[in-house]
Amino acid sequence: MLELERVLVVYPDYRLRATLKVPTGAHVAVVGPSGAGKSTFLAAIAGFETSEGRVLWDRQDLSGTRPGARPFSMLFQDNNLFPHLTAFENVALGISPSLRLTAAEKARVEAALARVGLTGFEARKPAQLSGGQQGRVAIARVLVQGRALILLDEPFAALGPALRAEMLELVRSTARESGATVLLVTHDLAEAARMPLMILVANGAAEPPADSAALLANPPEALKGWMG
Partner 1 sequence: MARRAVALTPDWTGWLAAALAAAGFLAPMGAVLWQAGQLWPTASDWSALRFTLCQAVISTVLSIALAVPVARALARRAFPGRGLLVTLLGAPFLLPVLVAVLGLLAVFGRSGVLNEVLRLSGLPTVSIYGLQGVVLAHVFFNLPLATRIILQGWQAIPAERFRVAEGLGFGPWAMARHLEWPMLRQVVPGAALLIFSLCLTSFAVALILGGGPKATTLELAIYQAFRFDFAPGRAAVLAVMQLALVGAAGLLALRFAGDVTGAAARGRVVQRWDLGTWGWDALLIGAAAVFLLAPLVAVVLKGAPEVVELPAAVWKAAGVSISVALAATVLTMALTTAIGLLAFRVPKLELVVLPGIALSPLVLGTGLFLLLYPVIAPDRVALAVTVMANTLAALPFALRLVLPHLRQAVADHGALAESLGIGPRVWLGRVLWPQVRRPFRFAAGLTAALSMGDLGVIALFADPDRATLPLQVMRLMGSYRTDDAAGAALVLLILSLGIFWIIDRGGRDA
Interface ranges with partner 1 (CB under 8 A): 46, 48, 66-69, 72-74, 76-80, 82-85, 93-94, 97-98, 145
State in angstroms the smallest separation of the CB of 128 from partner 1: 16
State in angstroms the smallest separation of the CB of 20 from partner 1: 22
Q: What's at 23, amino acid-wise?
A: P
Q: Which is nearer to partner 1, 65 or 130 (CB)?
A: 65
State in angstroms the smallest separation of the CB of 83 from partner 1: 7
Q: Which is nearer to partner 1, 102 or 119 (CB)?
A: 102
Q: Which is nearer to partner 1, 15 or 84 (CB)?
A: 84
**CA separation, residue 224 to residues 31, 192, 217, 220 (Å):** 12, 14, 11, 6
Q: Which of 176, 170, 177 has the alpha carbon at shortest distance from 155?
A: 170
State in angstroms the smallest separation of the CB of 9 from partner 1: 14
Q: Which is nearer to partner 1, 40 or 73 (CB)?
A: 73
**CA separation, residue 194 to residues 42, 136, 190, 211 (Å):** 19, 20, 7, 11
199 by Cβ neighbours in 10 Å (0-12 / 13-18 / 19+) ranks as: buried
